[in-house]
């Protein structure tokens, strides 16, 4: 008996075994009926059996084994995705989801091989095809489950960032009011100033979270280009960063025409993030160098700091959001949010302007290079 016929004849017994295993993965806080545990098992098994009965040439088999034919069996894809969504809604973890597919594969193979009288070469071919079908269903399930998790996380961050703005605004206004009162003692004035500084830092983090959630859903960073002198903007941002980090020396060099058509507020974020990153990760006591150079159709910004070179492993995820590596976490100084969003947002803003960001790191330090076309090729969003 070939494996497709066996699955169709034994589908009820296989599903019963699936249910018993799935019951061990149910979250303790939930009660799930048998029908919900079995949910798509029967339909998935029958879809796999139907796929196994279809003729398949050598080239098609190779392409499928390499994952180059994702649409070869739409029924398997549909059922696998439906199953992932149901398990996600019921509180199963991704480990539980993978365990279900592992157990289902083992159940079918064990039952089928036990009834084989004399295994033949064609049985091995059938087993290979069954494994490919199971791999496809598992891949589609995990892919959809992961998207659901990411979307949920991004929505949570968006709601959190949005709802935090109001209480933070109250804290900031209250601190500013206290700083204007003449009756405060010196100690009280310092306390109010610290409250305001902390609230402003939290507000910057909230803005980063909101920007991240917007881009995480596939939207381009919104920009509103207008005439701007990048040299003047950079001098202003350097002054702000120097106020926060009075012990750090920041050297600014400007050359050529630095005028263009950009979003001032957004490029201010880029400058603040890159300079703050250089200050936080640079060698203590060494200056941070900023070089602005205007060419015929572009302005180039370089932010350089001395210090230990960034490892090749860290360079791979430097612009990835929410992915602080252990080494970068250990090197982070007080004053950094640690969210891992600053460089990601900086790159998104530059990309929205039609520009690019590159980084080099070695024995002579680390340098971020930003190239901005004078007129945004993307435009307002």
Question: Is the per-residue pLDDT at 211 higher than 90?
Answer: no
- C-beta separation of 290 from 253 below 8 A: yes
Cα gap 271→3, rounded to integer Å: 62
- Taking domain 226-373, whether its CATH number is 3.30.565.10 is answered by yes
> Each residue of 39-81: pLDDT tens digit?
788 888 888 888 888 866 666 666 666 666 656 678 888 888 9
Counting residues of the chain whose pLDDT is more than 70, the rounded percentage is 85
Q: Give the three-state DSSP class for 229.
A: strand
Least confident residue range of 240-244, 252-256, 360-364: 240-244
C-alpha triplet 53, 59, 62: angle, nearest 5°: 85
Task: Write down the pLDDT at residue 334.
Answer: 45
Interior CA angle at 336 toward 333 and 341, to 5°?
135
Domain ranges within the chain, ordered by starting residue: 1-218, 226-373
CB 139 within 8 A of CB 188: no
Query: In this predicted model, what pLDDT tens digit does every residue of 18-32 receive, in sequence order?
Result: 888 888 877 655 667
pLDDT tens column, 80-107: 898 888 888 888 888 888 888 888 889 9
Mean pLDDT of 7-23: 87
The H or E element spanning position 166 is helix 121-179
């Amino acid at each position: 008996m070939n494996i497709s016929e066996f699955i169709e004849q034994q589908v009820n017994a296989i599903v019963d075994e699936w249910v018993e295993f799935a019951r061990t993965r149910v979250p303790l806080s939930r009660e799930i009926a048998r029908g919900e545990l079995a949910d798509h098992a029967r339909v998935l098994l029958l879809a796999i059996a139907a796929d196994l009965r279809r003729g398949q040439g050598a080239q098609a088999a190779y392409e499928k084994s390499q994952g180059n034919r994702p649409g070869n069996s739409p029924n398997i894809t549909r059922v696998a995705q439906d199953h992932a969504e149901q398990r996600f809604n019921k509180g199963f973890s991704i480990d539980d989801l993978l365990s279900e597919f592992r157990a289902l594969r083992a159940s079918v193979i064990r039952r089928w091989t036990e009834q084989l009288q004399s295994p033949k070469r064609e049985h091995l071919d059938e087993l290979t095809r069954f494994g490919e079908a199971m791999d496809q269903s598992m891949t589609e399930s995990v892919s959809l489950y992961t998207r659901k998790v990411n979307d949920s996380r991004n929505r949570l961050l968006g709601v959190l960032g949005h709802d935090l703005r109001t209480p933070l605004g109250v804290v900031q206004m209250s601190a500013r009011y206290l700083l204007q009162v003449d009756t405060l003692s010196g100690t009280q004035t310092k306390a109010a100033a610290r409250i305001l500084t902390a609230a402003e830092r939290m507000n910057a983090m909230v803005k980063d979270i909101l920007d991240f959630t917007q881009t995480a859903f596939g939207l381009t960073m919104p920009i509103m280009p207008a005439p701007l002198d990048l040299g003047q903007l950079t001098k202003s941002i350097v002054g702000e960063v120097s106020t926060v980090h009075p012990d750090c020396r920041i050297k600014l060099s400007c050359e050529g025409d630095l005028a263009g058509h950009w979003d001032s507020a957004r490029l201010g974020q880029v400058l603040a993030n890159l300079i703050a990153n250089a200050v936080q990760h640079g060698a203590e006591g060494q200056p941070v160098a900023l070089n602005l150079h205007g060419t015929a159709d572009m302005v180039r910004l370089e932010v350089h700091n001395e210090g230990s070179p960034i490892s090749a492993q860290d360079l791979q995820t430097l612009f990835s959001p929410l992915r602080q590596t252990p080494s970068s976490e250990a090197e982070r100084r007080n004053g950094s949010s640690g969210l891992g969003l600053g460089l990601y947002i900086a790159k998104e803003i530059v990309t929205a302007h039609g520009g690019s960001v590159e980084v080099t790191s070695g024995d002579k330090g680390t340098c971020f290079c930003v190239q901005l076309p004078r007129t945004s090729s993307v435009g307002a969003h």
